[in-house]
Structure 1
Amino acid sequence: MSIKALVLNCSLKDSTQQSNTRALINEIVKIFDENRAETEVLRMADYNIGLGITHEAVNDKDQWPEIFEKVKQADILLLGSPIWLGEQSSLATLVVERLYGGSSLTNDKGQYIYYNKVGGVVVTGNEDGGKNVSSYLIYALSHIGFTIPPNVDTYWVGEAGPGPSFIEANGKENDFTMQHAKITAYNLLHFARLLKEYPIPAEGNVIESP
């Protein structure tokens, strides 16, 4: 069964710079690859994404529509974000807003367009905020129609105060984080396959035209 996974890394660093969030994302992508999922990772800082609650271009430089097309084709959407002041990055918030802008569209059954897609999150940073950022992103995805499997929030946080981040701190040696990376990857794959074989029935959730 063919599964497509799309990862939107909302690091504030573009792809010319090293991203701690990408390093943790890679642990999940390895498992996707081992299970023959077709995975694409996009660095949001590489794109010009306009402000607005819409899936359409807000100006002639807005590249969100091409990202949105990839979202529509994906079975799995994984959002990655660093932590700043205990919150998700500004880019992560922007991506959620643009996803929300497409949430009123429907699939060929008349259900919200994100039905039968699964979502998860990856979060990295210093100090606290892993669960706070995860809860925001998980709720946002669920609210707009993504299915959220159990335990699909993988996070790593360092000690209080300035200090080494995931890569420098050898975050891959953290058993809890690595266990959750594995659980996240497999549960996303399990539920993506399940929904492809047994999609959510249209009964009771078809959106009526105004």
Structure 2
Amino acid sequence: MPAPLVGRKFGINIIPVPDKEVCKKIRVLGLSGSSRQQPVMSKSEALLDKALAQYREFGCTTEFIRLKDLKIYECEGNYSENPAYCTYPCQSSMKYEDDEMQKVYDAVLACDILILATPIRWNNHSSLIQKFVERMNAIENQYSWFGNRLIRNKVAGLIVIGHVDGVQHVAGNLLNFLSWVGFHIPEVAIASWVGENDEDTTKDKDLIDNNRYTQEDLSNLVLSALRLACALKQQCENEQECAGQ
């Protein structure tokens, strides 16, 4: 006879804390894809802030970038004309003097862990995250066409917040992208929350803050990404493959 359905068990899947000495070598980048006018208005960004604070408690170095604050031009699809035209540095970065995507490239290439935070927009990630994804073509194409892998020994995770929308759809798309460009995906890669279908977003912040499963997922995301990044860092140092990273 099957066991009765009693819901998800809380507190039984806690990720062990990694070696704190190794943690001090880890650099974490948080990218916010929220388009809210005021930072305090974004619920996905609030969880990202909390995640970065947890990383700092382990001695990690953190950096935060709000994509909305940067002038980033759309990908112009140079790859579609000829793969050799999709280069790094990106053609758009060189074409437009006020394009600020290079700040994002530099931060991504310097980090050991990347955490993307996005709201759900009609069952998809935000347009700001999509612009980031498309502009990362310049990084991915360095390997697929030119044979130069720029994303190596890096870990990525997601924070996804929505209302009556599809977390798994958004996560599936973004994790596929992150894996494709070379990121490792940790044991727990997603912290999420989806609101009720009453559409009352005014109470979301309190519901998220008090949802013990979302908060546990966030801690496990932090720890599992950190454990994997530490393991990659140690392996890299042992094999001396990380010169210049």
TM-score interval w.r.t. the shorter chain? 0.7 to 0.9
- Cα separation, 2, equivalents of 1:47 and 1:14: 13
Q: What does residue range 118-197 of structure 1 map to in structure 2 within 5 Å? A: 118-164=155-201, 167-197=204-234
CA contact (8 A) 1:119 1:141 kept: yes
- Cα separation, 2, equivalents of 1:144 and 1:4: 19
Match of 1:79 among 105, 116, 122: 116
Q: 1:150: how far off?
A: 1.3
- Cα separation, 2, equivalents of 1:136 and 1:121: 11
1:51 equivalent to 2:53? Answer: no
CA change 1:126–1:33 in 2 (3 A) is same
Q: 1:199: how far off?
A: 3.2
CA change 1:111–1:192 in 2 (3 A) is farther
CA contact (8 A) 1:125 1:166 kept: no
The equivalent of 2:29 in structure 1 is 6
Q: 1:14: how far off?
A: 4.5
CA change 1:16–1:118 in 2 (3 A) is closer
Q: Secondary structure at the match of 1:115?
A: coil
Q: Secondary structure at the match of 1:125?
A: strand
User: What is the TM-score normalised by the length of structure 2?
Assistant: 0.75
Letter in 2 for 1:100: N
Report which stretch shifted further, 43-52 or 26-35.
26-35
Deviations 1:122-145 (A, max 9, x none): 011111221211111111100110
CA RMSD of aligned residues (A): 2.3
Number of equivalences: 200
Highest CA radius of gyration, 1 or 2?
2
**% of aligned pairs identical?**
27
The equivalent of 1:206 in structure 2 is none
Q: 1:161: how far off?
A: 4.4
Match of 2:65 among 42, 57, 62: 42
The equivalent of 2:4 in structure 1 is none
User: What is the TM-score normalised by the length of structure 1?
Assistant: 0.86
- Extract unaligned runs of 5+ from structure 2: 1-21, 78-85, 241-245
Deviations 1:98-117 (A, max 9, x none): 123212336xxx76111201
The equivalent of 2:101 in structure 1 is 64
- Cα separation, 1, equivalents of 2:141 and 2:165: 34
Letter in 2 for 1:136: N
Deviations 1:153-201 (A, max 9, x none): 1111111142126753431211211111011000111111111111398
CA contact (8 A) 2:28 2:111 kept: yes
- Cα separation, 1, equivalents of 2:148 and 2:203: 39
